[in-house]
Amino acid sequence: AFFIDVMTTALQADELLVAVDIPKQAAGAGHSHQSLRRVEGAFPIVLASALVAPGYARVGLGGVGPRPVVLDVADCVNNGLTPATLDTVGTRAFDAADQALSDLNGSSDYRRAMARVYARRALQAAVAHMQTGGR
């Protein structure tokens, strides 16, 4: 509910964000952040972040639409990271990017396709990180 649209939040003109609480990751959790940019330091065309712990798996997508999207993919990962699992996660990312924007960096179709690719990459890297002890 905080993010309303591109570069627009729910903050009013007389409000100021003063803190963000980020919970500590569970021991052994794995994480990954993947981004596609034309030039390093530029706004991403697509980004995907994943956090995986026993019984927990989320993939966050940004740059594909007016607001960030978070996908709960624990039901997929609980059965192991197989090609079918990655296909399912990729399809969910593609579907979640249904409001993808078009601009000079890429069409909405391109962003949706890259959301599929980068969600898979982020999840694979997060699971690999978890399997090596995480954190």
Residue 113, pLDDT score: 97
Its pTM stands at 0.86
Residue 47, pLDDT score: 94
pLDDT single digits (tens) 72-129 = 999 988 878 899 999 999 999 999 999 998 988 889 999 999 999 999 999 999 999 9
Q: If we measure between CA atoms, which residue out of 65, 2, 52 comes closest to residue 26? A: 52
Strand partners, 72: 58
Q: Which two tokens stand for residue 130?
A: 């978890």
pLDDT single digits (tens) 18-50 = 998 988 888 889 999 999 998 888 888 999 999
What single string gives the DSSP state of each residue in 31-80?
A: EEEEEE-SSTTSPPSEEEEEEEETTEEEEEEESSSSS-EEEE-HHHHTT-
Q: What does the pLDDT average to over 4-13? A: 84
pLDDT greater than 60 at residue 135:
no
Report d(CA 56, CA 122) in Å as an integer.
15
